[in-house]
Structure 1
């Protein structure tokens, strides 16, 4: 079903299919799937998606549909399968990147190159409910330009991953990042939204935070996430941590403000410790001279300085990568 959040009026979506009332024909749909070493799951993924396109066409929700697989530098037979499938089915297309650029850049490459009135992005592992695309298209027909797929439950995740993921969303909201809770990269974007996204040229990409900044009328579709059909997750802890840092540092300067406050607090604490050490020196002759005023501030200030330098370094690294203006991805082949 299509819902609207309880906290914002901007998410209002008309209940009636206003596009059809205004004479708009059913849209042409492109489905974008970033792939990295997905050889095991792609046969079933492509089979289900082609059946889905048939169903959407027969039900009148779309005029026509196509699949765009983006090979993000896979090391297995992913690209070979995409080539063979594209050769046998005209609705299947492939985009091969020159190397592994990461999930977000691969997804962006697909979004910017896939045609169509609407583009739906989805992972290739079949964990996202394909039937939710019908609700997304209904939301588009009712006037929404962006329709977010939101996980109703995270029962397929481990308890650790579920807790850390929900904590991460909460932290991002707390520091002012406009993010859709429990939304990953399963979403529908209309052509005007894609063209607006094309104007954003930053190298450091975090689409989950970038898409809501575009504005446009939006809606939510809730679905239940399934188990991975085959293969293993291509997002180990190191990549999830890198994506988490990317999300925080790309959309908020709160960590830098925290450093300023932390510096003030530590200065006050250090002044209090100096006063206490002086009191000990004057009124407790048996105390070992210099131990408090040397050891405690040394370790405390050293640790805080290293932490602050690390946070500042993250922002400097982003400035460095942005000023070089290197391509976000390079497409080696298009089929």
Structure 2
């Protein structure tokens, strides 16, 4: 009897929990009768009564819900790793607590898993959301596809269904400041991509701030791409060639017109441009160095405050 563990990271989702648990349990009817279910809710240091809502849901659905209560907020990706570590299923899925991703798609994902695929991706082919959030998401996933992982699907994803082997390999990596979903693709297993339309959030408001989005972009690029460092090298060589040509021009000008006054404005422009490049280069290198230091410390990705069994 195959067991499916559904991992749901939670952060300020007090109002979502009753609706989410009811929809997930109702979705079991779409699966074959032999499948058993486990729902691993990870409370990522929420400041509201998310934990209380989860405990009430656990009482209403006995034997199905496991709650992993983290000591502090560590971010959704580390919370997902915590959920993977506490899941016991033969296959696993990750879905958001606000159900912007359709739970009914998991039955189709399960069918592909039965056919032997280790990883099944729910790909955001379209969104009900519009405006700045949509534009930023498109830019982010375009950069990741063209600068880091060319084999990821267009449009991005954070709704996945995967085998226990994939879960084990992800846990072995102990990757910090990274993107757990891209790690699954990076492992190299063949995957199936299922496009769907991402729904608007109907309950509560998103805590996915601009600062968190910028950090995710930096973490994802620096974890899977050498392009930032390579860009510094290429730009440095270009500036060096331009400086050489400009130096030859200044020498020739001095020989041809020895009384010509020096160009202070040009000198300042060049100085400021080169200084700005040096600061940017130091910043990018510093990001890589900091991530190496953070990994060398070997601090835990999360600390579990308590686990409430089903």
CA–CA distance in structure 1, aligned partners of residues 295 and 174 of structure 2: 9
Deviation, 1:292, is 5.0
1:287/1:125 CA distance change after superposition, 3 Å: farther
Deviates most, 208-217 or 230-239: 208-217
Give the counterpart of 1:39 among 2, 9, 14: 14
Matched position secondary structure for 1:140: helix
Aligned to 1:108: 81
Could you say which residue in structure 2 is the equivalent of 1:51? Answer: 26
Contact kept? 1:277, 1:293, Cα under 8 Å = no
* Gap regions ≥5 residues in structure 2: none
Deviation at residue 213 of structure 1 after TM alignment? 1.8
Please, which of 53, 67, 90 is the counterpart of residue 81 of structure 1?
53
SS at match of 2:288: helix
Structure 2: distance between partners of 1:153 and 1:238:
24
2:203 corresponds to which residue?
230
Tell me what 2:175 maps to. Answer: 202
Mapping 1:60-75, distance limit 5 Å: 60=33, 62-75=34-47
Paired residues for 1:73-152 under 5 Å? 73-90=45-62, 91-152=64-125
CA distance, structure 1, for counterparts of residue 182 and residue 199 of structure 2 = 24
Moved more, 309-318 or 196-205: 196-205
Q: CA shift at 1:151, angstroms?
A: 1.2
TM-score by length of 2: 0.92
Structure 2 residue aligned with 1:169, among 141, 149, 162?
141
**Map of 2:288 onto structure 1:** 315
CA contact (8 A) 1:105 1:205 kept: no
Is the Cα–Cα contact under 8 Å of residues 68 and 110 in structure 1 kept in the other structure? Answer: yes
Give the structure 2 partner of residue 245 of structure 1.
218
Matches of 1:259 and 1:80, distance apart in 2: 50
Tell me if the contact between 2:81 and 2:171 (Cα under 8 Å) persists in the aligned partners: no
Contact 2:9 2:44 in 1 (8 A): yes
Cα shift at 1:227: 1.0
Given that 1:273 and 1:293 are in contact with CA atoms closer than 8 Å, whether structure 2 keeps it comes out as no
Q: Please, what is the CA RMSD of the aligned residues?
A: 1.9
Choose from 178, 189, 200 the match for 2:162: 189
After superposing the two structures, state which structure 1 stretch, 164-173 or 210-219, moved more. 164-173
Question: Would you say how many aligned residue pairs link Structure 1 and Structure 2?
Answer: 306
Change (3 A) 1:233 1:273: same
Instruction: Give, in whole Å, the separation in 2 of the partners of 1:278 and 1:216.
Output: 59
Q: Say whether the 8 Å CA contact 1:118–1:191 is kept in structure 2.
A: yes
